């Protein structure tokens, strides 16, 4: 009943503490009951045992999934190269549009070795 009301870190600590109280086999039992991975339960228990000071953040700095553009900086220039021949609009205006769909652009970029989705292509075009 409590877990849905906790943030990510609090949930990890709570299930880690519960697993520690159960002893041997507690990690697997709590992971199944909470719907979490055993690694998450283990991390929660390890955080509690470390006795470190509580973090002010839920996630560490630079945590989470990285943007496609960060590990692959050439994707922007490759996208512009694909779009440039079919650009429409006033050349003096910053607003431009293309006749190519984001799905086709994503497929072409993937063919060039850039793993990217149509939604990410749309986000890059908006930028």
- The predicted pLDDT at position 60 comes to 67
Extract the tokens encoding 109: 């970029």
Extract the tokens encoding 18: 């519960």
- The predicted pLDDT at position 75 comes to 87
pLDDT per residue over 27-75, tens digit each?
999 999 988 899 999 988 898 888 766 666 666 667 777 777 777 788 8
- The predicted pLDDT at position 104 comes to 92
Residue 22 to residue 95: CA distance in whole angstroms? 61
Residue range 110-126: mean pLDDT, rounded: 89
Model's pTM, two decimal places?
0.48
Residue 87 to residue 48: CA distance in whole angstroms? 56
- Which residue is associated with the tokens 């055993």? 38
- The predicted pLDDT at position 52 comes to 66
Residue 91 to residue 124: CA distance in whole angstroms? 19
pLDDT at 111 over 80: yes
- The predicted pLDDT at position 54 comes to 64
pLDDT at 6 over 90: no
């Amino acid at each position: 009943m409590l877990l849905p009301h906790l943030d990510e870190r609090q949930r990890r600590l709570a299930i880690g503490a519960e697993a520690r109280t159960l002893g041997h086999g507690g990690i697997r039992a709590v992971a199944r009951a909470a719907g979490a991975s055993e690694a998450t339960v283990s991390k929660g228990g390890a955080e509690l045992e470390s006795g470190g000071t509580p973090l002010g953040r839920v996630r560490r700095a630079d945590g989470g999934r990285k943007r496609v553009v960060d590990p692959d900086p050439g994707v922007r220039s490759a996208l512009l190269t694909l779009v440039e021949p079919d650009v429409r609009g006033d050349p003096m205006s910053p607003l431009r549009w293309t006749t190519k769909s984001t799905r086709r652009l994503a497929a072409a970029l993937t063919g060039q070795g850039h793993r990217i989705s149509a939604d990410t292509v749309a986000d890059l075009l908006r930028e």
